[in-house]
Amino acid sequence: MTDLHFGCVDDAALKAVERYVRERKPDLVICTGDISKDGLAVELNDACAWLRSLEAPVMLTPGNHDVPYFEMWGRLAFPWKRFEAASKGIHTEAWHTPQWSIVPVNTARAWQFRLNWAQGEISRGQTAIAAAELQKAAPGALRIVITHHPLDWPNDAPIKGITRGGARGLLRLIDAGAELFLSGHLHFAYARLIETKALSIISGTLSKRLRHEPCAFTVIRRPAPHIIEAEVLHVVQGVAQTAAKRQFLLNTPPQPGAPGAVTALPGNGLAPASVDLS
Ligand SMILES: [Fe+2]
């Protein structure tokens, strides 16, 4: 899940997630940032209290809205202080188990040398640290990189932009063994194979800041070591409903005429028709 935006949450969507987690008991919940609207302490604290209340372990990385959004002094002097205080006790550092290695990279910036500070960046240093972290993965563990901003910003996304260093970082991290990239920011559900080596999944928002798609979250399963299943659930009138489900095959040479997806299960696909708001 991603982009909860406490301060303008969709309560019915959160209730649907709570119910899903309680009933389906996932191994883990991953949240890729923008847990608040304006980076206020009350928003961050409420968001983290809600994450802690879920009946599953939670892994969290911050987004661009999780700094003091409209407070220039706070942005410069203590950009991550409130987030770090609020998220105490929640996993925010690299996490290795026999089943998974999750490596978070903070792509959000308190300020940048460009007009739109909302966009993200992955530096060469961050990429090198993440690549080294991936080497600690247990044999057979799923190697996951989580960022707020997608490293492969799709050009049909409802907001235009680019994650600085994203393309370079993506390829470097795939070389280092990353198999799954999870992100948010776009309020747009999406899944795409990168060649046949890795899968990029962007999840939708659980807030009222909708961009032509309902509130959504994505369920990820691993039915076999090289198969990832992504199921997008839309929350409509408080009920979570499957919008699309697909399986993707990783790390195998592409078959003639097949782009790498082994099975396309019923559903309309993960990416909606292009919506250009520019
Ligand atoms: Fe964002």
DSSP 168-226: HHHHHHHHTT--EEEE-SSS--EEEEETTTEEEEE--BSBS--SSS-EEEEEEEEEETT
139 burial level (CB within 10 Å; 0-12, 13-18, 19+): exposed
Q: Would you say residue 250 has pLDDT above 60?
A: yes
The answer to whether 189 and 199 are in contact (CB under 8 A) is: no
pLDDT of residue 260: 41
Backbone φ and ψ of 142, nearest 5°: -75, 125
CA dist 171 and 168 (Å) reads 6
Q: How far is the CA of 34 from the centre of ligand 1 (A)?
A: 5
Other CB atoms within 10 Å distance of the CB of residue 88 = 9
Domain span holding position 135: 11-264
Other CB atoms within 10 Å distance of the CB of residue 257 = 5
Provide the mean pLDDT of the chain. 89
Q: How far is the CA of 263 from the centre of ligand 1 (A)?
A: 31
Q: How far is the CA of 139 from the centre of ligand 1 (A)?
A: 33
pLDDT of residue 271: 44
Q: How far is the CA of 259 from the centre of ligand 1 (A)?
A: 30
CA dist 39 and 82 (Å) reads 8
Per-residue pLDDT tens for 195-236? 889 999 999 999 999 988 999 999 999 999 999 999 999 999
> Would you say residue 271 lies in a domain?
no
pTM to 2 decimal places? 0.89
Q: How far is the CA of 66 from the centre of ligand 1 (A)?
A: 9
Q: How far is the CA of 253 from the centre of ligand 1 (A)?
A: 35
The answer to whether 110 and 79 are in contact (CB under 8 A) is: yes
Per-residue pLDDT tens for 20-45? 999 999 999 999 999 999 999 999 99
Q: Which residues contact 268 (CB under 8 A, 6 or more apart)?
A: 243, 244
Overall domain count for the chain: 1
> Would you say residue 6 lies in a domain?
no
Q: How far is the CA of 114 from the centre of ligand 1 (A)?
A: 16
Residues across the chain: 278
Percent of the chain having pLDDT more than 70? 90
> Would you say residue 269 lies in a domain?
no
The answer to whether 202 and 222 are in contact (CB under 8 A) is: no
> Would you say residue 278 lies in a domain?
no
DSSP at 66: G
CA dist 38 and 268 (Å) reads 34
> Would you say residue 4 lies in a domain?
no
Q: Which residues contact 29 (CB under 8 A, 6 or more apart)?
A: 1, 21, 51, 54, 56, 57, 58, 59
* pLDDT band at 252; cut points 50, 70, 90: low
pLDDT of residue 112: 76
pLDDT of residue 46: 98
> Would you say residue 276 lies in a domain?
no
For the segment 68-88, the average pLDDT, to the nearest whole number, is 91
For the segment 120-142, the average pLDDT, to the nearest whole number, is 97
The answer to whether 122 and 129 are in contact (CB under 8 A) is: no
Output the domain CATH number for residue 243: 3.60.21.10
> Would you say residue 3 lies in a domain?
no
> Would you say residue 134 lies in a domain?
yes
